[in-house]
Amino acid sequence: MLQTEILCQSPIFRGISPDDLRELFSRILYQVKTYQKNDLITIGGEICDRLLIIQQGSVKAEMTDYSGKTIKIEDLAAPWPLATAFLFGKENRFPVTVSATSEVEMVSIPKPEFVKLLQMNSLILNNYLNTISSRAQFLSQKLKFLSFKTIRQKIAHFLLEKAGDRLQTVEIMQTQGQLAEMFGVTRPSLARTLSEMSQEGLIEIDRRTIKIPDKNRMNQLLKS
């Protein structure tokens, strides 16, 4: 049984009224499947040719490693969609194995039918395009960050990004520990590098605010 009041909360159907959504669904083919706790919903490696949206209950996504063991990746609950990034593109396979962690109702829309939905309603189209574009942008940012090798470079990038064109001082909201985790380094290593950069006059630290006296000099760090 389709519950459009819930589905319209999903990122993909956001902004559509439950009634409109019901009307849209009446014009396509779809299934609502029920799973019991621990039932398998998708298997990693399986072809992804339909969009799955959790209508009721919660699931967990696990990845199978090379030795066959599974590692939990994330928990998802209604009304979230599954694997939106793998419905299109070159690699049309579920990257993860998904199983129910409670009684679950799953709306399953075959890819061609979902394409119809996208063409019928520009809001859905925009929502979906925004979802996967944002993901690509997020990944791109993350990748750029990781591309800086040394801790100094990561700090320089982080600070210059935060400062923008205008500001000369940056207010840090995270603890050193959180920053270190973002940077993928250990906390003492980050502290050491900050202290070194401070001694060299690259930055001036006062509690949670960091001043960059010479942005050009800081920028040099990103070159090598």
Q: Show the beta-strand stretches assigned E in 78-124.
A: 81-82, 97-100, 104-110
Site for a copy of itself, rule CB under 8 A? 65-67, 85-91, 115, 118-120, 122, 125-126, 129-130, 132-137, 139-140, 142-143, 146-147, 149, 160, 163, 165, 184, 215-216, 218-219, 222
Task: Note whether 182 binds DNA by CB under 7 A.
Answer: no
In this structure, what token pair is assigned to residue 86?
């793998």
51 binds, among DNA, a copy of itself, none (CB under 5 to 8 A by kind): none
In the bound complex, what is the minimum distance in angstroms from residue 70's beta carbon to DNA?
A: 24
In the bound complex, what is the minimum distance in angstroms from residue 125's beta carbon to a copy of itself?
A: 6
**Residue ranges in 39-68 that form contacts with DNA under rule CB under 7 A:** none
Q: Show the beta-strand stretches assigned E in the chain.
A: 31-35, 40-42, 50-56, 58-64, 70-77, 81-82, 97-100, 104-110, 169-171, 204-206, 209-211
**Residue ranges in 195-214 that form contacts with DNA under rule CB under 7 A:** 195, 205, 207-208
205 binds, among DNA, a copy of itself, none (CB under 5 to 8 A by kind): DNA
d(CA 83, CA 1): 22
**Residue ranges in 106-165 that form contacts with DNA under rule CB under 7 A:** 149-152
In the bound complex, what is the minimum distance in angstroms from residue 186's beta carbon to DNA?
A: 4
d(CA 218, CA 201): 10
CB burial of 111-126 (b: ≥16 within 10 Å; e: otherwise) equals eebbbbbbeebeebee
Q: Is the peptide bond before 112 cis (omega within 30 degrees of 0)?
A: no
- Under the rule (CB under 7 A), what is the footprint of DNA? 149-152, 175-177, 184-195, 205, 207-208
